[in-house]
Structure 1
Amino acid sequence: MSDDHASSSDTTAATPAPRSLDDALALMRDLRARCEWDRVQTHASLRPYLIEEAHEVDDAIAQGDDAVLRDELGDLFLQVLFHSVVAEERGAFGMQDVAGALIAKMHARHPHLYGDGVKRSWESMKAAKAKRSTLEDGLPAGLPSLHRAHRLQDRAAGVGFDWPDALGPLAKVREEVEEVASLIDPATGAVTNQDALEAELGDLLFAVVNLCRKTGVHGALALDRTNAKFVRRYATMERLAQADGKTLSTLTLDEQDHYWDAVKAEERAG
């Protein structure tokens, strides 16, 4: 077995034969016993594959292809099985313990369904139980900045430190825009204080994430959507310019803006 086994981008068009979770666990144990590559893996050596597979699942969701999503979820599940069996061999815990911990956590997160019938904020319950020394205790070190901002705000909101509605963060965004503008010369566009501008732009981004959160939008997903839209529009600009016998990079900004407006008009018409 090679590392392609741990991180496979191959997808199967046909629907695979039905199998149980016990079958998958038995397969993983067999691979650990009989495959040279699988046998020597550790929790640490598997880390890159876990991260890669999580990203591939995310890509599959964005593609909207169920067959691809099915197979990528299988690859991600392989990582869960792999770590569980490695831990089982160490005598630490097994797959049943993982399932038990999951069920216990879900019951605790939903007391209105499985407990005393009182619905509570998960973040407030978690804060009371965890006794964090800092707001960011337990957040992964490699968590992307937009996601980290969202989670920090979620945690603060869990103990009541939050705007009552979206109007507060909306006003804060406007305030931060003005503070950014104060550091850019209105006549020349020159930055008057680079360090201060970086700090204010950070505040602006944080405020925008808060506005996203209060309106039920995840900032990272919103930005992914806009990134994809920009790439699509830029490619269309290049296509339109090429159809006119022109190269986009040789055009003036005004000429490029003409194509940009044409792309947006084409989208509206479509």
Structure 2
Amino acid sequence: MVILTNFDLKTTFLKRMTFQQLPEKRQEQLMAFNRLLTIMDELREQCPWDKKQTIESLRHLTIEETYELSDAIIEGDLPEVKKEIGDIMLHLVFYSKIASETNTFDISDVLHGICEKLISRHPHIYGDVKVENEEQVKQNWEALKLKEGNKSVLGGVPKSLPALVKAMRIQEKARGAGFDWEEKSQVWEKVEEEMQEFKTEFNVIDNQAIDLEKAEGEFGDLLFSLVNYARFININVETALERTNKKFIKRFQFLEEKAKESGKSLTDMSLAEMDVYWEEAKRN
């Protein structure tokens, strides 16, 4: 007698379902994906630009599309989010199409690969592992990655990530391995300690030249501790800083517009004059 596990039952059922047996919404989704694959095949065969592209040539475009999706998310513009997801989806299909031409892999290999990863990384869903909360799920995830061959918990952090995002991901992964502070008050004490070290080392009142390399190191420590505290209280530092960037841009452009209306340029105005418009911008 063959005994099927919970996972076996689920996958066996899915494998045996025909297209017509799938829910109507799933059929619609699969048809839409099939349409994209068909268009990609046609473009790769017929369009001069698409025929010319390589995995390397698409890389910088994919990065740009990812940042555009990020912008749309921060703005809360869901129609734009939908559009940017489509652009990224196109790129993923494009990479897979190019790889299929050399029999390296195709889109089905990509999708089966991520499916197998998700199944293996969720033994609490597809196996007998029991978890009590989200934190245990994260810890299991990192432990499984090490079993799969990762030499370090931090090995999966991309080297080219922006430093602020990288700091956040490093700390999240370290926490997944159980290396973290116990209380947020401890984290804040570390922030204050780093702030005091920076202030003591580089006296803000003293105008003497400082050791820039050392100052950079100490400032990096301070930023890292602030990122750590933000993570502890569930603030996404990248989102927080980007919203502040956008707020500053909006106010500065208001300042420029007001200066223009008064027949002046910013370089002709005193700081006191600019401050009047700046306070007005904050009220708008």
Shorter-chain TM-score bucket reads: 0.7 to 0.9
Q: Could you tell me which of 70, 80, 98 is aligned with 2:92?
A: 80
Structure 2 residue identity aligned to 1:172: K
**Count of residue pairs brought into register by the alignment:** 250
Q: Could you tell me which of 138, 142, 166 is aligned with 2:160?
A: 142
Residue by residue over 1:60-89, the C-alpha shift from the partner in whole angstroms, topping out at 9 and shown as x without a partner, is 323433333222221111111111112222
| Alignment of structure 1 residues 91-240 onto 2, 5 Å | 91-119=103-131, 120-122=137-139, 123-134=141-152, 136-240=154-258
Residue by residue over 1:211-269, the C-alpha shift from the partner in whole angstroms, topping out at 9 and shown as x without a partner, is 111111221111101111111222333445556666543333344344434443x25xx
| Unmatched 5+ stretches in structure 2 | 1-27, 132-136
Structure 1 residue identity aligned to 2:125: L
Q: RMSD value over aligned CA atoms?
A: 2.6
Q: Please give the secondary structure, in 2, of the residue aligned with 1:217.
A: coil
**How far apart in 2 are the matches of 1:262 and 1:185?**
33
Q: Which has the higher helix share?
A: 2
Structure 1 residue identity aligned to 2:267: S
Give the number of the structure whose alpha-carbon radius of gyration is greater: 2
Q: Normalising by the residue count of structure 1, what TM-score does the alignment of the two structures yield?
A: 0.80
Cα 1:137/1:186, change in 2 over 3 Å: closer
Cα 1:56/1:196, change in 2 over 3 Å: same
Structure 2 residue identity aligned to 1:31: L
Structure 2 residue identity aligned to 1:86: I
Q: Please give the secondary structure, in 1, of the residue aligned with 2:157.
A: coil
Residue 197 of structure 1, CA deviation:
1.0
Q: Normalising by the residue count of structure 2, what TM-score does the alignment of the two structures yield?
A: 0.77
Residue by residue over 1:197-217, the C-alpha shift from the partner in whole angstroms, topping out at 9 and shown as x without a partner, is 111100011111111111112
Structure 1 residue identity aligned to 2:54: T
**How far apart in 2 are the matches of 1:116 and 1:127?**
18
| Unmatched 5+ stretches in structure 1 | 1-16
**How far apart in 2 are the matches of 1:241 and 1:45?**
43
**How far apart in 1 are the matches of 2:258 and 2:202?**
35
